[in-house]
A and B are shown apart, each in its own frame.
Chain A
Amino acid sequence: MIYMERVAIIGVGQTKYEHGKQGNFAELVFEATSKALQDAGITRDDIDNVVTVSSDFWDGRTISSMAVSDASGAFDRDITTVEGDGTFGALYGMMRILSGSFGVTIVASHHKGSESNMNIITNTAFDPLVERKLGLDAVSSAAMQARRYMSKYGLSEEQFALVSVKNHGNAMRNPLAFLPMEITVEDVMNSRKVADPLKVLDCSPVTDGACTLILAAERQAKKLTRPAKCVWMKGVGHCSDAYRLGDRDLADTRALKDAAKRAYAMAGIDDPRRQIDVAEVYDAFSYMEPLWLEGLGICDDGKGCEYTERGYFEFGGKLPVNVSGGRLSSNPVQVAGLAGMAECVLQLRGEAEERQLDGAKVALVHGINGMCGQSHCVWILGK
């Protein structure tokens, strides 16, 4: 085993997640980054390196990181960008620290979905030479994945609806969540049909917000902040599947299985079903939560919905999943996975207030990039 320096998350900051937030991109990043610095108990002078996470197309400007460089504390420093989910930005931030070239690192992500059109933007993720002309987007392709998952394992729309009920309900305990709601399976089933089998309440809302994490290698973390603030990045794995939807079996989670295996090996987890106390799993659409929990090895293939029905992933269940309210209640796209990491940091520190779980020691965070989960990033965090 190669010795690798440990890296900690020492600060987290988030805006409230909303639709139509008043601030511009930079204002959101100023808010999240100021909160993260304050949380870590450090100043901008302690920062050596900034990774931003954003999307040029969504922001409507190229090199979108430059527009938030001042806000993320990067003025006079190095700045680099990941376009994708925040979990991948955190991975890049950790790798920069481990390279030995960079010190305390900010990972800052922002998203304002309310300022553009999600369908038109996600359509441009498709190959302009093939599928783009058909008019596919994130919602219609997810709907095909949901149907494939249903027919492969004999699942029902009501089973998916339960995930929406759970996660909107969890959001009631999270003051930062955009859509806390007490709803029933019937409400989900009766909500407007979007793209069968998905209804409005199976889909995450267009959301604005920003999240910043501060990462530091062990030596610096111990110098700069209190042990109570440090949450360790114990394992990470990432893997991607085929680009074209037709080249994949949309209900096959092979890429996620591989990513999870790598993260578990790095963190020394041999039995994820027993060793993980809390998880934030990518749930932009209700069916995704059970599908990805299967890929993560938390349950066997095709069994995710059964576990959901038994209450296994409830707030008071054996493995609470998306206690923040998940993406179903707030989905600031590029921020999504970073918000999941922030939630788990709060849980592991015991700072999650009304939604604090007892004795959470090991957390799992999952983010995806690309249509229908083309690529996955899995984190294991621990005290």
Chain B
Amino acid sequence: MPDWKDEVEEIIHQGKISVPYTWTVGSTLSRFYCELRDSGKIWGNRCPSCNKVFVPPKVKCIYCYKDLNDWVMLPGTGTLETYTVVRYEEPMLHPRKAPFVFGAVKMDGADTAMVHLIGDVDPEEVKVGMRVEAVLEEEREGNILDIKHFRPIG
């Protein structure tokens, strides 16, 4: 293809889309966030059919499609199943400056992992299988960042 820019000046338009949203959190996650905000407790819910415990909780079991009405309070501890040390900056997204750690924590008393930040540790010292616990924010607003991060136990 001939390079048309030899003949025509290339014009670039800058743009930006900024749209406000009001997200309804729904019955199940509202209860999860209220408990987290008001009592500082992490709750999951159990499937009456396969007994799997989900955290964050769900309306229905993804395996059995049964209602999950059986709520379970979790100790907030778990095992680091996998992690990454994020080394790039993306200020619009990242709650911390790089390098910082994202991890998937298999929660004690649950069958699912919670993806969250891993903190209070040198990123280079993080290991798969590490025991961790949730650290809560003092001022809580009813969202996932009410958990400040998970930190190593001991």
Contact = CB atoms under 8 A, between A and B. Distances in A.
Physical interaction between A and B: yes
A140 B87 contact: no
Contacts of B103: 144
Interface string A243-265: 01111001000000000000000
B144 A120 contact: no
Interface in A16-34: 22, 31
Interface string A178-218: 00000000000000111111100000000000000000000
Contacts of B17: 60
A196 B88 CA distance: 11
Contacts, number: 104
Contact of A119 (B5, B62, B93): B93
Contact of B95 (A134, A140, A146, A198): A134
B2 to A, nearest CB: 11
Contacts of B40: none
B42 to A, nearest CB: 13
B117 A134 contact: yes
Chain A interface size range = 35 or more
A145 B102 CA distance: 12
Chain B interface size range = 35 or more
Interface in A34-66: 60
A130 interface: yes
Contact of A144 (B56, B83, B93, B144): B83
B21 interface: yes
A194 B88 contact: yes
A226 B29 CA distance: 58
Contacts of A129: 23, 25-26, 29
B93 A137 contact: yes
A222 interface: no
Given A144-B115, A247-B112, A196 B84 contact: yes
Given A22-B5, A129-B25, A144-B115, A137 B90 contact: yes
Interface in B18-69: 21, 23, 25-26, 29, 54, 56, 62
A97 to B, nearest CB: 32
Contact of B84 (A31, A130, A144): A144
A134 B116 contact: yes
User: Which of A146, A194, A247 has its CB near the most chain B CB atoms (within 10 A)?
Assistant: A247
A254 to B, nearest CB: 11
Contacts of A147: 82-84, 128
Contacts of A250: 82, 104
Contact of A195 (B84, B115, B116, B144): B84
Nearest to B114: A246
A193 B86 CA distance: 9
A193 B87 contact: yes
A26 to B, nearest CB: 15
User: Which of B81, B82, B88 has its CB near the most chain A CB atoms (within 10 A)?
Assistant: B82
Interface of B: 1, 3-5, 10, 15, 17, 21, 23, 25-26, 29, 54, 56, 62, 81-88, 90, 92-95, 102-104, 112-117, 128-129, 143-145
30 contacts: A60-B17, A119-B90, A123-B93, A128-B21, A129-B26, A129-B29, A130-B56, A131-B144, A134-B95, A134-B102, A134-B144, A134-B145, A136-B115, A141-B115, A144-B82, A144-B84, A144-B115, A145-B82, A151-B82, A151-B128, A194-B87, A195-B84, A195-B86, A195-B87, A244-B56, A245-B115, A247-B54, A247-B62, A250-B82, A250-B104
Given A246-B112, A247-B54, 17 more contacts: A22-B5, A119-B90, A119-B93, A120-B93, A128-B23, A134-B116, A134-B117, A135-B90, A143-B84, A144-B103, A144-B104, A146-B84, A151-B128, A198-B84, A246-B114, A250-B82, A250-B104
